[in-house]
């Protein structure tokens, strides 16, 4: 057996095939490259090249559809950014040739994005891709891209994959993705999961692999084995196939092995995510992140536009629960038309979520009104909840506003430790809870979600987070109210069993995680889930909590978890 490279497994399953190395980056145009003196013509050429790249990205998105269409149209918007065009024009005016001007203007944006960190820093790969495509158009080089034909499925290896590369891939020709860079929220990871392609990202040494060498990619373990022995290939592929069979064999509503119902719901960002939610058997929507409708806008969407987007979701789940979260603006999701009062040195602790509505009550009234109209005539069960609630006064204020708007079921997200600690008081003021473990972890461990240097602390397995979840679930149960989880923790099949054992009454997650969570629950009784929860809370570290829970959940082995 050859070398084993390691990275993060971000899309489960196994793939085996020859390495296809994605063409290297387009060479940097030489520094000091000058145009022939006709700045007007050079600017036209550069503008036309940017427009052609944007058109091409949009066309690829249309051909691919689904998640890829959204990703590519966002990338096309970057290519159409007037700021970039102005930056290029200014450089051309000083005599710089078009390709070099594009390179330098993009370089400035690149630095800005990289400096922000987090999600935006991961968009740097998208920006580099647009830059390379534009330079390719200007210099007559072939566009970077993936093969459209191959004799057998290949393992696509790259420094990072741009959405434009992955969107038009023929799924049958790709055995797996491996990238040298990228993290769990990179586009490679998101699209790989959406396409069901096994993937390993952040894999040091990947671009040093030799084209044509055969590699075995384990997207769960995060390993890439070079020229593995045939028996190992058979074992890993066989185990992956068995896991897949076990997954697809478990169908129907979420329940433990002894029939304790745990409804499994989908997290969505808008109507475009409905198809995947339905395809993976979601019993409803557990988190509709409505802010996606508001982001990247100069003005708020009209009530008519909002109503249409909400209605599409209500109509997709006749008789089913649809939990809509009101606008969660601020912090990592700033909105141009809802500016905070002034400088916020710690935006995550500033005016975000429901706090923003206290400053802009008309915005809340307009969203609640649109929701109330959208549900009329549908049979969906609308649950409306507010993010970032810290006090009982806020909870009561929001519930009252919902009831006045004609929305009978009003709840809150439990994301702030104060809300979990005093869950009994808050439960009396609202109709349901949904725990946002992403923010609850951030605030419990005082580790900003946006700061990768403290990413290790962002672990929902930490017993302190588990204790707060237990308190929230107990508070809700004492008042006879439901308490779901809609943070990423619910998508971890092992943690999902623990959450059930802690008393959580429903689980909501990105659609691809649904079969895994369904299968993990179906293999354990509610007593086993409770024992796993007790074991996890008895631990002192996140790692020990996870190990202790796994020890109490014997059915995980069958799923290779
Ligand atoms: C959460 O905080 O867990 C959550 C679901 O909300 P978001 O990730 O959108 O902040
Ligand atoms: Mg949140």
Atom of ligand 1 nearest to the CA of 267: 5
pLDDT for 69 equals 79
pLDDT for 503 equals 98
Q: Which of 183-187, 282-286, 474-478, 492-496 has the lowest mean pLDDT?
A: 183-187
pLDDT for 1 equals 58
Name the residue at shortest CA distance from atom 6 of ligand 1: 436
- Average pLDDT of the chain is 90
- Pocket lining: 437 vs ligand 1, CB cutoff 6 Å: yes
Q: Which ligand is nearest to the CA of 388?
A: 2
Q: Report percent pLDDT > 90 for the chain.
A: 63
Contacts of 79 (CB under 8 A, 6+ apart): 50, 51, 53, 54, 57, 130, 134
Rank 92-101, 294-303, 383-392 by mean pLDDT and report only the highest.
Answer: 383-392
Q: Which of 11-15, 164-168, 276-280 has the lowest mean pLDDT?
A: 164-168
User: Which residues have a catalytic role annotated?
Assistant: 187, 486
Q: At residue 199, does pLDDT exceed 80?
A: yes
Question: What is the biggest distance separating any 2 CA atoms in the chain, rounded to whole angstroms?
Answer: 79
- Name the more confident of 241 and 432: 432
Q: Which of 182-191, 433-442, 539-548 has the lowest mean pLDDT?
A: 182-191
Name the residue at shortest CA distance from atom 8 of ligand 1: 438
pLDDT for 259 equals 97
Query: What burial class does residue 346 get, using C-beta atoms within 10 Å of its C-beta: 0-12 exposed, 13-18 middle, 19+ buried?
Result: exposed
- Pocket lining: 438 vs ligand 1, CB cutoff 6 Å: yes
Determine contact, residues 43/101, Cβ cutoff 8 Å: no
**Average pLDDT score over residue span 347-359:** 93
Contacts of 130 (CB under 8 A, 6+ apart): 53, 57, 75, 78, 79, 106
pLDDT for 58 equals 86
Q: At residue 148, does pLDDT exceed 70?
A: no
pLDDT for 70 equals 79
Q: At residue 421, does pLDDT exceed 80?
A: yes
pLDDT band at 298 (very low <50, low <70, confident <90, very high): confident
- Pocket lining: 439 vs ligand 1, CB cutoff 6 Å: yes
Q: Which one of 286, 352, 413, 490 would you pick to mutate in the ligand 1 pocket, going by the greatest count of ligand atoms within 8 A of its CB?
A: 413
Name the residue at shortest CA distance from atom 9 of ligand 1: 289
pLDDT for 150 equals 77
Report the C-alpha gap between 203 and 181 in whole angstroms: 7
How far, in Å, is the centroid of ligand 1 from the Cα of 249? 31
Q: Which ligand is nearest to the CA of 509?
A: 1
Q: Can you give the length of the chain in residues?
A: 561
Q: Which ligand is nearest to the CA of 389?
A: 2
Q: Which of 110-119, 260-269, 510-519 has the lowest mean pLDDT?
A: 110-119
Q: Which ligand is nearest to the CA of 434?
A: 1
Helix (H/G/I), strand (E/B), else coil: 547: helix
pLDDT for 200 equals 93
**Average pLDDT score over residue span 90-114:** 89
Q: Which of 141-145, 282-286, 458-462 has the lowest mean pLDDT?
A: 141-145
Q: At residue 282, does pLDDT exceed 90?
A: yes
Q: Which of 140-144, 380-384, 400-404, 417-421 has the lowest mean pLDDT?
A: 140-144
**Average pLDDT score over residue span 294-308:** 90
pLDDT band at 142 (very low <50, low <70, confident <90, very high): low
**Cross-strand partners of 325:** 289, 385
pLDDT for 109 equals 81
CB count, 10 Å around CB of 273? 25
Name the residue at shortest CA distance from atom 1 of ligand 1: 436
pLDDT for 71 equals 78
Please state, in angstroms and as integers, the Cα–Cα distance from residue 277 to each residue in 246, 284, 285, 484, 509, following that order.
20, 8, 8, 17, 9
- Pocket lining: 448 vs ligand 1, CB cutoff 6 Å: no
- Pocket lining: 415 vs ligand 1, CB cutoff 6 Å: yes
Q: At residue 117, does pLDDT exceed 70?
A: no
**Average pLDDT score over residue span 208-217:** 91
pLDDT for 326 equals 98
Q: Which of 126-135, 430-439, 490-499, 507-516 has the lowest mean pLDDT?
A: 126-135
Cα-only R_g, the chain:
25
- Name the more confident of 14 and 332: 14
pLDDT for 24 equals 63
Q: At residue 312, does pLDDT exceed 80?
A: yes
Report the C-alpha gap between 555 and 216 in whole angstroms: 26
Ligand 2 (ion): which residues have CB within 5 A?
415, 436, 439
Q: Which of 35-44, 58-67, 394-403 has the lowest mean pLDDT?
A: 58-67
Q: At residue 188, does pLDDT exceed 90?
A: no
User: In terms of Cα–Cα distance, which of 265, 238, 146, 246 is closest to 195?
Assistant: 146
Name the residue at shortest CA distance from atom 3 of ligand 1: 436
**Average pLDDT score over residue span 355-384:** 96
- Pocket lining: 487 vs ligand 1, CB cutoff 6 Å: yes
Domains of the chain from N-terminus onward: 4-24+146-245 (3.50.30.10), 39-139 (1.10.274.10), 255-337+345-555 (3.20.20.60)
**Average pLDDT score over residue span 91-98:** 94
pLDDT for 185 equals 64
Q: At residue 2, does pLDDT exceed 80?
A: no
DSSP 7-48: -EEEE-SEEEEEEEE--PPPPPPPTT-B--S-HHHHHHHHHH
**Average pLDDT score over residue span 79-102:** 92
Q: Which one of 439, 445, 492 would you pick to mutate in the ligand 1 pocket, going by the greatest count of ligand atoms within 8 A of its CB?
A: 439
Atom of ligand 1 nearest to the CA of 387: 6
**Average pLDDT score over residue span 368-382:** 97
Q: At residue 145, does pLDDT exceed 80?
A: no
Rank 30-39, 78-87, 383-392 by mean pLDDT and report only the highest.
Answer: 383-392
């Amino acid at each position: 057996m050859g070398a084993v490279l390691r990275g993060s497994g971000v899309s489960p399953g196994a793939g085996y095939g020859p390495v296809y190395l994605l063409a290297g980056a387009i060479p940097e145009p030489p520094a000091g490259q000058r145009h022939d003196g006709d700045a007007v013509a050079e600017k036209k050429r550069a503008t036309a090249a940017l427009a052609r790249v944007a058109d091409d990205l949009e066309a690829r998105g249309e051909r691919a559809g689904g998640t890829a269409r959204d990703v590519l149209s966002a990338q096309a918007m970057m290519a159409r950014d007037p700021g970039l065009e102005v930056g290029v024009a200014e450089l051309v005016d000083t005599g710089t040739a078009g390709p070099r001007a594009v390179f330098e203007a993009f370089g400035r944006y690149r630095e800005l994005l990289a400096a922000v960190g987090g999600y935006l820093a991961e968009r740097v790969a998208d920006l580099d891709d647009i830059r390379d495509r534009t330079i390719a158009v200007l210099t007559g080089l072939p566009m970077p891209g993936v093969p459209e034909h191959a004799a057998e499925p290949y393992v696509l290896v790259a420094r990072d994959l741009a959405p434009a590369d992955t969107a038009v891939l023929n799924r049958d020709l790709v055995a797996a993705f491996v990238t040298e860079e990228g993290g769990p929220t990179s586009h490679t990871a998101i699209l790989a999961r959406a396409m069901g392609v096994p993937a390993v990202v952040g894999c040091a040494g990947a671009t040093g692999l030799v084209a044509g060498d055969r590699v075995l990619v384990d997207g769960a373990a995060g390993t890439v084995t070079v020229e593995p022995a045939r028996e190992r290939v058979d074992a890993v592929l066989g185990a992956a196939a068995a896991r897949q069979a076990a997954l697809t064999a478990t169908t129907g509503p979420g329940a433990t092995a002894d029939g304790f119902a745990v409804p499994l719901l989908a997290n969505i960002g808008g109507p475009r995510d409905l198809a995947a939610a339905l395809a993976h058997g979601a019993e409803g929507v557990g988190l509709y992140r409505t802010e996606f409708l508001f982001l990247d806008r100069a003005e708020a969407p009209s009530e008519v536009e909002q109503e249409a987007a909400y209605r599409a979701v209500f109509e997709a789940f006749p008789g089913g629960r649809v939990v809509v979260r009101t606008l969660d603006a601020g912090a990592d999701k700033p909105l141009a038309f809802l500016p905070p009062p002034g400088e916020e040195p710690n935006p995550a602790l500033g005016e975000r979520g429901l706090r923003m509505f206290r400053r802009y009550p008309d915005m809340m009234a307009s969203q609640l009104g649109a929701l109330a109209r959208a549900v009329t005539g549908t049979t969906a069960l609308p649950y409306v909840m507010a993010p970032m609630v810290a006090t009982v006064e806020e909870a009561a204020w929001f519930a009252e506003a919902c009831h006045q708007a004609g929305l009978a079921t009003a709840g809150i997200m439990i994301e702030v430790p104060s809300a979990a600690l005093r869950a009994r008081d808050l439960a009396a003021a609202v109709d349901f809870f949904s725990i946002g473990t992403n923010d609850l972890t951030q605030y419990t461990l005082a580790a900003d979600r946006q700061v990768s240097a403290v990413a290790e602390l962002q672990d929902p397995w930490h017993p302190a987070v588990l204790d707060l979840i237990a308190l929230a679930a107990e508070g809700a149960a004492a008042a006879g109210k439901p308490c779901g989880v809609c943070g990423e923790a619910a998508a971890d099949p092992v943690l999902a069993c623990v959450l059930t054992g802690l008393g959580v009454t429903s689980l909501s997650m990105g659609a691809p995680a649904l079969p895994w969570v369904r299968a993990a629950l179906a293999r354990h009784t509610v007593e086993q889930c409770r024992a796993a929860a007790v074991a996890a809370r008895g631990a002192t570290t996140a790692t020990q909590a996870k190990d202790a829970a796994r020890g109490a959940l014997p059915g995980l082995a069958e799923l290779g978890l």
